[in-house]
Structure 1
Amino acid sequence: MPFEFRTEFPETDPECVAHFAPSFQHVDWIDGSSIVQAEQTPTEEGFNSRFRKIMADLEAAGDDAKRALDCTATVRRSLFAIIQELETELERIGGPVEEWNSPTLASTWIRSGQLGNPNPPGFFKDHYGMVHLRGFIDGGPNPSATNSFSSLVWRLPRGYRPPHITQLMAFTFEPAPTFLATKAVRLDVGTDGTVTLREPYASGHGLVLDGLSFRSA
């Protein structure tokens, strides 16, 4: 399944914007002409008014600076949490893979001993939700009109089943001394976990499940 971050990290934050708009505008004085005084007159703003505007501008700029630092701290905390999530996910992906599980074979199916020491029947699920099958088996019921072309091989447990009926292509092989692959046969994996052979195979031949895989629900 796709990886999703638990930590929210929006592209923008309406709280992290600058509000500073300068109020002080200096008008140059002219030597010997400009009147310098404390209070405001119709022709002169006065030192007191000028300094109050400077103080207000410094305070507003300070508020923006504090807001910027607070937003930076918030971003840092969010990034730290996201990096921790990534580390956890990377450790999970790089961690040990699940061991092969041994299924209970249905009916008369058995592990094949025709090839010396072939893979035993088994299944496992990897970190990406893919279920993998393996095994050389034989001796099971042959699909035919009598059994509705349905020979149950085994049943997968919950958590290892596909979201929809999944059709795979397995191979049959000849008995000794050739052990040659002879035919591609249809293998259905149902949402109930059933692994079912749907096509007949020659008497005495075996079934190879190595390399088959599908995505679990």
Structure 2
Amino acid sequence: MDLVRWLFDAQLHIGSQTILWREVVGNVFGLLSALGGMRRKVWAWPIGIIGNALLFTVFLGAVFHTPNPVNLLGQAARQLMFIVVSVYGWVQWRRSRDGLGAAVEPRWAGWKARVFIVLALVGGTALLTPLFTALGSYQPVWADAWIFTGSLLATYGMAKGWVEFWLIWVAVDLVGTPLLFSAGYYASGLMYIFYGAFTLTGFFVWARTRRRLPHETPAPA
């Protein structure tokens, strides 16, 4: 309990800025999960869930009375969404694990699924923006809605083994980085910059792995 209390209250002071340690730790767990995902390891999912639980409390700054009293509802809600979808992904990868320890076979989503991803990303953003606005999310609200929708699609794509899911993360990072900096979440903003480079690397790693496989089968939508 002492460790939990320390983690909840501990702060890092850099100049005039205050950063919660649980924001740092939550992002580190997220990075480890991304690394495990690139290597197609089942442990990527439970590690990610721990990070999601920590970051949920961070992005509801006004609710939890943190030094940065800003609510990013899309960021907070996506942590809950991550936990739900990660359970699905965890089960899927455990079922698919091969004798070499790789949990999933990377595959291209196919054009039907790609069109669905684009339409869902734009449509989901448009639908969620007025909802997040009514709930008082941080401006610009469309960016928060974009991040939530893209994160949902990317996590689902990872569970399905779609190579393209890495590119969805790139789209999320491009919008998320300036939003997080403007809202005062500096640790997460810096991590998003790193994520952007990392997700591009992950895309090329999975694409190369796909090319090495003996046959190409488009993934079902």
Q: Does the alignment reach a TM-score above 0.5? A: no
Structure with greater strand share of residues: 1
Higher relative contact order (CA 8 A, sep 6+): 2
Structure with greater helix share of residues: 2
Q: Which structure has the larger Rg over C-alpha atoms?
A: 1
| TM tier relative to shorter chain | under 0.3
